[in-house]
């Protein structure tokens, strides 16, 4: 992709009266596909995503007042504006200005901004939304890159890419989701031709070259997973249940080790003072958390507090499911998924695509059975993918809809695509042709363009 071409393309679309050519800036921010490591990031465990050549592109220019005006080439997102000021309130959940506000608020706080400058922002995107390819974080990062320039700050000098990723991961909670830092980190630190292994708290990244003879193919199930819409509570139930399970583990481990022990997230067991192995964590989980679905009352009893306190401290808006909370299964997914990420990294380094594929398949089963984030369409799509040439296939991203990612030998790409089109899109969904099926070509991390 040529930078010049991109900025020209953006320029051609600009609402002219808002942009004068003197102080205009441009940036591009890619989406990502997560190869393996789902719902591990907010638990402090690893992930293995790649950047993809589908991106948000933007133009920005400073204004003389403190108004922020937003334009989007996509007519589904109407022009919006808000005031940059000490307290910026959220718009209704799902409104697209919230993603921009998230970036602006986080930077205002970080740099103790007192002048609150205004700017115009024009967005153009090739990244599909609500498909698990991180369009939301791409938008937050876009806002942050634009606003950094408006503030006269330099990426790399005033704030590192890792710091910005960490800041924006926290900042994105403003939109209502309690996600981790995978998306922001790979978007800002990924590299063409590489997977980006990320560890958290503190954030660390390692780039690993991808297979040469195999490609990753993304297939859109066409079922939309609106994380700040209908799926918000389902998504947030993941982190909330994991943090609740940590409280049970903490109580158990205090008896075993130390009364002052504090476990904020599961990853603390591995990277913190205790330094437990996967098997030790699994053993302690079995001792501390019954395998059955647990009612709110049972959890309160185990923690020796009232159900009201359990709700207040961990569950927030999450309703008690009829069957109860499957805490053991959730933890089992997270811990085994972390192990799969570690083994996948080894498999990539050893150029062992078959092991990588097997781990992807296991990940899908665990996402479906233990984390319950799959849906029939994603299960069918992965089965069809495996039948027609993929050596591994799994859902990618938060789940409840969105895309799958499949590992396919280069030699079988046409065979795979033709058959997935026929069997899934045409036969199963009744569509005339495939939608949102593409080879996940990687690209450089987010950058400014001329």
**Per-position DSSP letters for 259-320, written without gaps between them:** TT---SSTTHHHHSTT---HHHHHHHHHHHS-SS-B-HHHHHHHHTS-HHHHIIIIITTPPP
Reference 405, options 101, 7, 138, 37; nearest CA is 37
Q: Please say which residue, 62 or 240, places its beta carbon nearer to ligand NG1.
A: 240
Q: Please say which residue, 147 or 400, places its beta carbon nearer to ligand NG1.
A: 400
Q: Please say which residue, 326 or 389, places its beta carbon nearer to ligand NG1.
A: 326
Torsion sign across C-alpha atoms 121, 126, 132, 138: negative
Reference 406, options 218, 222, 145; nearest CA is 218
Tell me the closest approach of the beta carbon of residue 14 to ligand NG1, in angstroms.
Answer: 28
Q: How far apart are CA 182 and CA 186, in angstroms?
A: 6
Provide the greatest CA pair distance for the chain. Answer: 67
Q: Please say which residue, 302 or 334, places its beta carbon nearer to ligand NG1.
A: 334
CB contact at 8 A, 52 and 133: yes
CB contact at 8 A, 299 and 310: yes
CB contact at 8 A, 397 and 177: no
Q: Please say which residue, 314 or 388, places its beta carbon nearer to ligand NG1.
A: 314
Tell me the closest approach of the beta carbon of residue 445 to ligand NG1, in angstroms.
Answer: 16
Please, what is the end-to-end C-alpha distance for the chain in angstroms?
13
Q: Please say which residue, 133 or 303, places its beta carbon nearer to ligand NG1.
A: 133
**In the complex, which residue's CB is closest to ligand NG1?**
179
Classified as helix, coil or strand, 36 is strand
Q: Which residues are catalytic?
A: 183
Q: How far apart are CA 332 and CA 368, in angstroms?
A: 12
Q: Please say which residue, 39 or 240, places its beta carbon nearer to ligand NG1.
A: 39
Strand order of the β-sheet with 214-220 is 392-395, 403-409, 214-220, 437-439
Q: Please say which residue, 25 or 401, places its beta carbon nearer to ligand NG1.
A: 401
Residue 44's region, left for phi above 0, alpha for psi from -120 to 50, else beta, is: left
Phi first, then psi, for residue 277 (nearest 5°) are -85, 170
CB contact at 8 A, 209 and 193: yes
Q: Which residues pair with 50 in a beta bridge?
A: 33
Classified as helix, coil or strand, 379 is helix
Tell me the closest approach of the beta carbon of residue 137 to ligand NG1, in angstroms.
Answer: 5
Tell me the closest approach of the beta carbon of residue 41 to ligand NG1, in angstroms.
Answer: 5
CB contact at 8 A, 239 and 44: no
Tell me the closest approach of the beta carbon of residue 175 to ligand NG1, in angstroms.
Answer: 8
Reference 317, options 181, 136, 176, 171; nearest CA is 176
Tell me the closest approach of the beta carbon of residue 145 to ligand NG1, in angstroms.
Answer: 17
Contacts of 152 (CB under 8 A, 6+ apart): none
Tell me the closest approach of the beta carbon of residue 69 to ligand NG1, in angstroms.
Answer: 25
Residues in the chain: 450
Binding site for ligand NG1 (CB under 6 A): 38-39, 41-42, 132, 134, 136-137, 172, 177, 179-180, 182-183, 227, 397-398
Q: Please say which residue, 7 or 221, places its beta carbon nearer to ligand NG1.
A: 221
Tell me the closest approach of the beta carbon of residue 233 to ligand NG1, in angstroms.
Answer: 14
Tell me the closest approach of the beta carbon of residue 185 to ligand NG1, in angstroms.
Answer: 9
Q: Which residues pair with 404 in a beta bridge?
A: 219, 395
Half-sphere exposure of 335 (CA within 13 A, CB side): 26
């Amino acid at each position: 992709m040529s930078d010049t071409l991109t900025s020209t393309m953006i320029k051609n679309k600009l609402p002219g009266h808002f942009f004068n050519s003197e102080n205009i800036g441009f940036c591009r921010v890619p989406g990502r596909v997560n190869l393996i490591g789902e719902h591990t990031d907010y638990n402090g465990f690893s992930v293995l995503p790649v950047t993809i050549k589908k991106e948000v592109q933007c133009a920005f220019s400073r204004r003389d007042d403190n108004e922020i005006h937003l334009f989007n080439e996509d007519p589904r997102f109407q022009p919006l504006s808000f005031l940059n000021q000490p307290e910026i309130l959220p718009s209704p959940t799902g409104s697209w200005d919230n993603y921009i506000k998230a970036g602006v608020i986080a930077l205002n706080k970080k740099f103790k901004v007192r002048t609150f400058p205004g700017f115009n922002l024009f967005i153009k995107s090739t990244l599909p939304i609500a498909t698990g390819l991180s369009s939301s974080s791409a938008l937050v990062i876009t806002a942050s890159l634009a606003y950094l320039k408006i503030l006269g700050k330099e990426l790399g000098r005033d704030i590192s890419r890792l710091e910005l990723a960490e800041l924006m991961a926290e900042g994105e909670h403003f939109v209502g989701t309690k996600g981790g830092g995978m998306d922001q980190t790979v978007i800002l630190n990924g590299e063409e031709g590489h997977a980006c292994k990320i560890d958290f708290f503190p954030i660390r990244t390692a780039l690993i070259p991808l297979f040469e003879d195999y490609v990753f193919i993304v297939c859109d199930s066409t079922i939309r997973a609106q994380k700040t819409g209908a799926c918000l509570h389902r998504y947030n139930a993941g982190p909330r249940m994991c943090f609740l399970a940590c409280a049970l583990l903490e109580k158990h481990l205090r008896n075993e080790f130390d009364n002052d022990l504090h476990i904020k997230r599961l990853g603390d067991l591995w990277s913190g003072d205790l330094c437990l192995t996967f098997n030790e964590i699994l053993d302690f989980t079995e001792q501390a958390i019954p395998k059955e679905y647990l009612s709110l009352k049972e959890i309160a009893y185990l923690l020796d507090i009232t159900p009201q306190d359990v709700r207040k401290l961990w569950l927030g808006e999450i309703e008690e499911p009829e069957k109860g909370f499957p805490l053991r299964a959730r933890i089992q997914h997270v811990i085994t998924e972390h192990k799969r990420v570690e083994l996948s990294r080894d498999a990539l380094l050893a150029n062992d695509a078959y092991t990588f594929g097997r781990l992807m398949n296991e990940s899908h089963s665990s996402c479906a059975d233990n984390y319950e984030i799959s849906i029939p369409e994603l299960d069918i799509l992965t089965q069809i993918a495996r039948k027609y040439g993929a050596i591994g296939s799994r859902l990618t991203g938060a789940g409840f809809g969105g895309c799958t990612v499949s590992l396919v030998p280069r030699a079988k790409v046409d065979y795979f695509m033709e058959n997935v089109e026929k069997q899934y899109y045409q036969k199963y969904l009744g569509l005339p042709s495939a939608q949102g099926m593409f080879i996940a070509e990687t690209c450089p991390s987010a950058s400014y363009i001329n």
